[in-house]
Structure 1
Amino acid sequence: MTDQTVSIDAVQQMLADQNYVCGRALATVVFLSLRLGRPLFLEGEAGVGKTEIAKAIAAALGRRLIRLQCYEGLDASSAVYEWNFAAQMIAIRTAEAAGGADRDMLKTELFTEDYLIERPLLQALRPQAGGAPVLLIDELDRTDEPFEAFLLEALSDFQVTIPELGTIHAPEPPIVILTSNRTREVHDALKRRCLYHWVDYPDFNREMQILQARVPEASAALSREVVAFVQRLRTEDLFKKPGVAETIDWAKCLLALDVITLSPEVISDTLGAILKYQDDIQKIQGSEAKRLLEEARATMAPA
């Protein structure tokens, strides 16, 4: 434990110093994860800040961030290691050209760490300058159950086995953060190994704090309008509701256009910054944008 992680308040301040604004509930589960050495499993809609918290923790603690981006078909070899076949073939051809190559000796030499390509899980088990790294296993719900089962074993003992080299064990377990957009349910056995937190959309005041931290050059008046409109937009029946990431992107786009205050025309022109599906964009354009803006202003929290 460091001064930055000695208490829940210290963790909350540590994240705030990295421009990551969070509530006490999330700060508490991060504190417990760091204190107990337990993986942290974060679920929530895309764009609510699950990935960013891993980046903030790594930056605050001065640790290396190792990211395993999950996808359909991801297997253990892609996540842990693979052999550099091209380099091995060159070594074989070189030995053959030299003549008198001992096959058994050559086989032993080919399967050493010199020819090993380390993937994120194996990298996270290696000693790192500055302490154990932060291992981000991002969008776990995109993988399938066999990979989940492998991951369950790897995270239980923080070790992996490479048949040619043996078992590699982490001298110091990494700080593990897993995220899921909940496109499917992750197996309970894996969740039981982790501390869990649902990362929800922030309320108006917290989203204002986030926007002020990430886009400080935006005026308070424009920030309030942006947050109020996005908050109102999330109540609509949309295929994909905008996350905090979209709020930040939209504010930056408005600044680039020298926008001082929102208007239906500006909203229609920049909807692509906050909505990512054409059906959603068509639904909000024109008179609908004007209606939502008026309702957002009517419910805007007082300055």
Structure 2
Amino acid sequence: MRTPTTFWAEIVLPAIRAKVARILSSEGFSQVRIAKELGITQAMVSKYLSKYKPPEILEDIEGKIEAIAVSIAEMIKSDIEREEIIKTIERSFFKLLGDEKFCKAYEKYSGIPGKVCMELAIESGKKEVIEDLSRALEIILRDEKFAELIPEIRSNFAYSLPNPRDTNDVAAIPGRITVIKGKPYAMPPEFGVSKHTARLLVKVSKHNKDIRSVLNIRFGKDVEDAIKKAGLRVAYLPRELSSIEEIEDRIAEMFNGNEFDVVIDPGRHGVEPCVYIFGRNPMDVIVKLKKIEENL
């Protein structure tokens, strides 16, 4: 069966190897050394340099293949560890899975609808999001200082897929982060378990696609002073907003052409004051959280 991984291994990867071989050969690398670097035979290197022509179905992704090959060749010339080169190659595959032109080329190769690639890319992306959010959550759960920053409404920590379409594309903490026996406690992150923070990231992404993670903590004069001492970029919500949806919309609008580390909601009748820490990913949020804690 012709799967996307088969397409990558049989068609795309040889095209990348051929381009890398030609780049390295033009830089004075011998065929023996190229073979060693690429993990193939010298005979295959010779074939890549003299006879190989990429299949026509790769025509639309030729530029992407060229870019990957140039990166790999540069890493080889710079004596980057082989493990890092392998990671780069594998990341390139997962990135291409979500590329429309790659999926169309796969469809021509296999006769199977290219949407299969897109679906696999989403599943792969979800796994990565859960892993990254789980690692950051572990840091919070070992941080006893964080227990003092959990508001009455409790904290949530969310991380979205790139360009989230709806709340199902956002992972967060079921039941939020709470305090048990003086220590932070939380269930493992899942997709589709948050309303407010998930909607917030979906709305923010429409104005700034780089912002994909958010954590809320309590507000107070001590926290506000710590944020300022930490030198974080901060914005304030007005008090006249009356609903959660209005709060989300106003925060999202703030990111139109701007990037803030922290947004402070001073609260209003029936709504607890809150601090939102934003970042490109969960570890980015953790770094900002630690800066606040250090200045408390």
Greater relative contact order structure (CA < 8 Å, 6+ sep): 1
- Alignment TM-score, normalising by the size of structure 1: 0.29
